[in-house]
Amino acid sequence: MTEVSQDSLRLLGTVLAVQANFYRVQLDITDTELINLSASLSVSLTKSATPPLLLCTRRTRLKKIGQQVMVGDRVLVEEPDWAGQRGAIADVLPRKNQLDRPAIANVNQILLVFAVADPPLEPYQLSRFLVKAESTGLDVVLCLNKSDLISTQQQNQINEHLIKWGYQPSFISVYKSINIDKLSIRLKDKITVVAGPSGVGKSSLINALIPNINLRVGEISGKLARGRHTTRHVELFDLPNGGLLADTPGFNQPDLNCSPEELAVYFPEARQRLAVARCRFSDCLHRDEPDCAVRGDWERYQHYLEFLEEAIARQSQLNQQADPESTVKVKTKGKGKQKYEPKLESKKYRQKSRRTQLQELQELYRESEE
């Protein structure tokens, strides 16, 4: 929708990228609106295959009220300079949702990309990514790349395991162009965030989905059997059949920043069990509580217990930070592990200064004189 008047011109658009204090905005202008703008502004605006882009700044008013502008934001741009392809963001429309890592707004789904080989598929790592994706509340599309490197029998075995987890994976091969077209249909007319560990072929997949984009592709580390991430910032790219795809900076171990009480709902298997029966206690953590509906022999239960310990440790640390008088302190050990031990009372165990010791001696001397 475009608003045109003699005093001002406001255009609606989507923020595709944020770098420093500049924002690349794709405008929502149809061919008819371009013709109308050309006539009303007496400028020459030519049609193009893609909507026009403007490099924008943020109005001072937005800075003063603390209004952040994120990738994916729907914004109003005013005073466009068509010759210089510049503009200014005057307002940010309300967001449907917002992710903090990666920092992006108005997302429809997460495309979680893993490889079945080179690097090998790690169930624990995959489970961690799935829980993080579930915690966003968005739809999760699981995509397994490099399927040409394993047999059909191996694919079937992996598929059976993941169905038990509650997911229907898509097996693709960027190298062999297997099922890329089917995947593109699931991305049509949606804003999709691509996530997954480094080296699984995320950049190669985006290159296949969006021809001529030419994202830099990383190599696999021979020592660690893991990839080196190549993406440095979040950016949205136009899909040929409609929709936007966000390439995100790679990371190997996403943080699990949920509370212990809500962790179970991020496992489809646990959700299924809770839909059938209820635990005796409303605050059940599904470990050793009696009459627990979740505890059992399902495949990822051990993953749940390990993630639960991490969530409890994180919650304890947050409580300690909120309560400085806490009698427990967190001590970090090797490989990021944490240990909890009693905290010494500072006043009781702090060494006295020489001045304090001298004052006490003087006080004792005066008492003895009396």
Angle at 160 between CA 154 and CA 164, to 5 degrees: 150
Is residue 16 within 8 Å of 25, Cβ to Cβ? yes
**Which residues have a Cβ under 8 Å from the Cβ of 326 and sit 6 or more positions away?**
319, 320, 343
pLDDT recorded at residue 7:
43
Gap between the Cα atoms of 278 and 21, Å rounded: 51
Is residue 250 within 8 Å of 215, Cβ to Cβ? no
Q: DSSP code of 5?
A: -
Gap between the Cα atoms of 264 and 286, Å rounded: 8
Q: Count how many residues are written for the chain.
A: 370
Looking at the chain, the domain(s) classified CATH 2.40.50.140 span 2-94
Gap between the Cα atoms of 273 and 295, Å rounded: 9
pTM, two decimal places = 0.76
pLDDT recorded at residue 328:
52
Q: Options 3.40.50.300, 3.90.226.10, 3.10.580.10, 3.30.2130.10; which CATH number does 100-247 get?
A: 3.40.50.300
User: Average pLDDT per run of 10 along the chain, which is 370 residues long?
Assistant: 52 93 89 55 53 91 94 93 91 94 91 94 95 94 97 97 97 96 95 92 92 64 43 82 81 78 96 95 95 95 96 91 62 53 50 69 68
Q: DSSP code of 292?
A: -
pLDDT recorded at residue 233:
75
Gap between the Cα atoms of 200 and 322, Å rounded: 39
Is residue 29 within 8 Å of 2, Cβ to Cβ? yes
Q: Options 1.10.10.10, 3.90.650.10, 3.40.225.10, 2.40.50.140; which CATH number does 2-94 get?
A: 2.40.50.140
Looking at the chain, the domain(s) classified CATH 3.40.50.300 span 100-247
